[in-house]
Amino acid sequence: MADLDALKETKEYYLDIPQKSDAFYLKGLNALDWGMQNRLARIFNPKTGRTVMLAFDHGYFQGATTGLERIDVKIMPLAPYADTLMLTRGILRSIVPPSFTQSIVMRASGGTSMLKELSNEEIAVDIEDSIRMNVSAMAVQVFIGGEHEKQSIINMTKLVDQGTRYGIPTLAVTAVGKDMVRDARYFRLATRICAELGAHYIKTYYVEKDFETVTASCPVPIVIAGGKKIAELDALKMAYNAVQQGAAGVDMGRNIFQSEAPVAMIKAVRSVVHENETAENAFELYRSLKEQG
Ligand code: R5P
């Protein structure tokens, strides 16, 4: 017990120092509660305001797709270089050790396979399980213009409502149907609808033309998906252009884990996202790390 006799009489209230009241560093998210902002700060690096999310949730509708046959062998060695892991609860519980302390964004929608109409999905995780697994955000697919557009939007709003009750943010993932045009006009529509209806941040695809209008008209942060595997230099150019045009980072999967040198690639992506390195310099880094093995 503290010795009461030794209590100091003098106290310092620092009357000349006003208490700091800084705005939260992520766009459009200033009015959120402490728990929400704290979880978002575990996803988006507070120093750069950006994130490198490593996405490997593809199995939820594709099964053991190329590069994800053995997540323990191929993906876990990449995990230390990601700001956050995006995965399903099945993989989280079966493969990721609970001692892993980086943030988790958990896929919370599902119900269809690649053999059927993908937009016909629902919320596939109870909010209680997200809390149990201590996730930093929940991800839900939204199919604007898709066959089950309304159902997928309502999935998202339900998840936003559930997450808001417990301080867990929702990531809306804009899914593009096979027949839809992937252009800035479509992504402005899709991302804005998700933000208007409460998503805390949004994953979309990069488009060469007018991508900055997509980020400008979306009031909350945008991250880009990597999409199909392309040459490493091209993937780095895409990431560079996206962040320079207002994206708050990447949620990249195949272009990292299907690379010939995945660890070198994720390090190169990090340099583009967090250090504003050019794609060419990042590619040099990739090459030299690859050579070193
Ligand atoms: C799609 O199945 C998931 O939402 C992925 O997380 C997303 O597409 C990002 O992965 P990739 O960079 O491979 O497109």
The whole-number pLDDT of residue 1 equals: 57
**For the CA of 254, the nearest atom of ligand 1:** 13
For a pocket test of ligand 1, which of 43, 54, 57, 142 has the largest count of ligand atoms closer than 8 A to its C-beta? 57
By CB atoms closer than 10 A (0-12, 13-18, 19+), residue 2 is: exposed
The whole-number pLDDT of residue 180 equals: 75
H or E stretch covering 224? strand 222-225
Active site residues: 203
Residue of 120, 103, 95, 97 whose CA lies nearest to 38: 103
% of the chain residues with pLDDT over 70: 97
Contact between 29 and 37 (Cβ < 8 Å): yes
- Ligand 1 geometric centre to CA of 132 (Å): 24
Residues in Cβ contact with 252 at an 8 Å cutoff, skipping those fewer than 6 apart: 52, 53, 54, 55, 224, 225, 226, 235, 239, 269
| Residue 57 Cβ contacting ligand 1 at under 6 Å | yes
Contact between 276 and 245 (Cβ < 8 Å): no
∠ Cα 109 75 215 (to 5°): 55
Q: How many CB atoms lie within 10 A of CB 238?
A: 24
The whole-number pLDDT of residue 15 equals: 96
The whole-number pLDDT of residue 193 equals: 98
Backbone angles phi, psi at 38, to 5 degrees: -65, -40
**For the CA of 226, the nearest atom of ligand 1:** 12
Does this model's pTM top 0.75?
A: yes
pLDDT above 70 (res 6): no
Q: What is residue 22's DSSP assignment?
A: P
- Ligand 1 geometric centre to CA of 59 (Å): 10
Confidence band (pLDDT; 50, 70, 90) for 72?
Answer: very high
| Residue 177 Cβ contacting ligand 1 at under 6 Å | no
Mean pLDDT of 285-291: 97
- Ligand 1 geometric centre to CA of 67 (Å): 13
The encoded tokens of residue 287 equal 């090459």
∠ Cα 113 173 257 (to 5°): 70
For a pocket test of ligand 1, which of 54, 91, 173, 266 has the largest count of ligand atoms closer than 8 A to its C-beta? 173
d(C-alpha 222, C-alpha 141), whole Å: 14
Give per-residue pLDDT as tens, 135-165.
999 999 999 999 999 999 999 999 999 999 9
pLDDT above 90 (res 27): yes
- Closest Cα to atom 6, ligand 1: which residue? 55
- Ligand 1 geometric centre to CA of 55 (Å): 6
Residues in Cβ contact with 60 at an 8 Å cutoff, skipping those fewer than 6 apart: 88, 107, 110
Question: What value does the mean pLDDT of the chain take?
Answer: 95
Give per-residue pLDDT as tens, 191-237.
999 999 999 999 999 999 999 999 999 999 999 999 999 999 999 99
d(C-alpha 255, C-alpha 235), whole Å: 7
Give per-residue pLDDT as tens, 93-141.
999 999 999 999 999 999 898 998 889 999 999 999 999 999 999 999 9
d(C-alpha 293, C-alpha 261), whole Å: 8
- Closest Cα to atom 1, ligand 1: which residue? 58
pLDDT above 80 (res 172): yes
The encoded tokens of residue 153 equal 């939007």
For a pocket test of ligand 1, which of 54, 58, 201, 266 has the largest count of ligand atoms closer than 8 A to its C-beta? 58
Q: Tokens 């270089």 label which residue?
A: 81
Helices within the chain (DSSP H only): 34-43, 59-62, 71-74, 89-94, 127-132, 149-166, 184-196, 211-217, 232-244, 254-257, 262-275, 279-292
- Closest Cα to atom 7, ligand 1: which residue? 225
| Residue 227 Cβ contacting ligand 1 at under 6 Å | yes
pLDDT above 70 (res 7): no
